[in-house]
Structure 1
Amino acid sequence: MNDFCASLWPEESTPDSLKNCSNCGLFQHGSRMVWGEGNPKAPILILLDNPGSREDSKNKPFICGTRQTLQQAAFHVGLTPDDLYVTYVLKRKPTRAYDKEQTRKICMNHLEAQLQTKRPQMIVCLGNVAVQSFFQNQELDVKSLRGQFHHVNGYKAAVAYHPLAVRRRPNLWSAFLEDWQLIAAQYFKENQVQ
């Protein structure tokens, strides 16, 4: 794990018809829409709350802590960049206060459209926002759902802590890695990967 080197994943272009979407109001925050990153045809779709920073203050691409921790765990259990696609509940990074519940509800329409097109083999929800949004239940949390697969709207889903939570609380690393081991084992079993 010490020689782990995070990498930038290619960003998937936002559909032209949605680049200027203003339905949820986040366009007023000045952040651009990020549709997703990684392999758009990947069997494993990773759902996060919203995009993090992709560029530094000088507009140079960089790898944020979320990506580093996510890639470190996924690659540690044998998954490759081709296996993974990352997308978000919110397609724009919020920069100030907003109506969270209403905005997430509106933005879930984009995710539903993505899922209909991509039809991933499994979905991995990272963090409570992703869990509550995807499972459509504000009472659920990662702690109570992790460690097993769930069937939600016709999809096999697993949950794990948000990578930033793991970075802030290193004691969560072992649980985070256990969840990725579960995900990888199921993926390899279903695809008869040795």
Structure 2
Amino acid sequence: MRHFKNFMILVMTLTALTLTSCSSSDDSGDGGGSGGGAGSGVLVAKVNGNSYQSMAISSTATVANNGQSLIIIASNSSGKAFSFTVLDFNGEGTYPIGGGANIANSASYTVTDVDLNNPQNSTTEIWQAPYDDTEVGEIVVTSVTDSKVKGTFNFTCKNVGGDQSLKTITNGSFNLDKQVVN
């Protein structure tokens, strides 16, 4: 059993290294024109200056409520994820995050640290925006087709349930497969 556990840790480590070190021509930064620097199927950003890229298998844009809501979820193999909710979605355009009536548009950045030795000790921290009544950023949808949603974003978010720290998200862009749910 001990050898099996060591083998599984080795496999998971190699898998994580492989997933985080892979590159493709889609990562060239051109994003296919409109939509910023994200390659097809992923979301990219700078989190306090550090690069982030989601995995295509765990990243999607969902148009819901008869086309009136946009929900974006994108995560990577390191336990880091972004989520966005845009209410009153009208296709291409700029959607403020926060600022009075625009408080319904929201964004978050989540970090989950998994303790492989004791999964019950795993932690999740969430930095959310907006965190007060001011405008803290925006999501710009630059292209919506039958199969893709592309755009850019930036915002400041706060760990309101934890240490109250702020994270600045810059140079964000997405080029995600689109799902429609009514």
Tell me the TM-score normalised to structure 1 length. Answer: 0.29
Task: Choose 1 or 2 for highest CA Rg.
Answer: 2
Tell me the TM-score normalised to structure 2 length. Answer: 0.31
Bigger strand share: 2
Bigger helix share: 1
